[in-house]
Amino acid sequence: DDEASTQERAETVRLRQRVTPLIDMLKRSAAEGADVVWGA
């Protein structure tokens, strides 16, 4: 169905969108000399 595939493409989250917040966090952390930890 053409409408369904259009809907799926509209809902797709691109890698660039997903990684941007992570890169921002890493840059802020590096600028402050702080470590990045998960689940401390």
Residue range 4-23, pLDDT digits in tens:
777 777 778 888 899 999 99
Q: How confident is the model at residue 40 (pLDDT cuts 50, 70, 90)?
A: low
Task: Identify residue 4 by its one-letter amino acid code.
Answer: A
Q: What is the pLDDT of residue 20?
A: 94
Domain boundaries, the chain: 2-32
- Tokens found for residue 17: 């969108």
Q: Let me know: does 26 contact 36? Beta carbons within 8 Å.
A: yes
Q: What is the pLDDT of residue 1?
A: 66
Contacts of 19 (CB under 8 A, 6+ apart): none
Query: How far is residue 26's CA from residue 34's CA, in Å, rounded to a whole number?
Result: 9
Q: What is the DSSP letter of 37?
A: -
Q: What is the pLDDT of residue 26?
A: 96
Query: How far is residue 36's CA from residue 34's CA, in Å, rounded to a whole number?
Result: 7
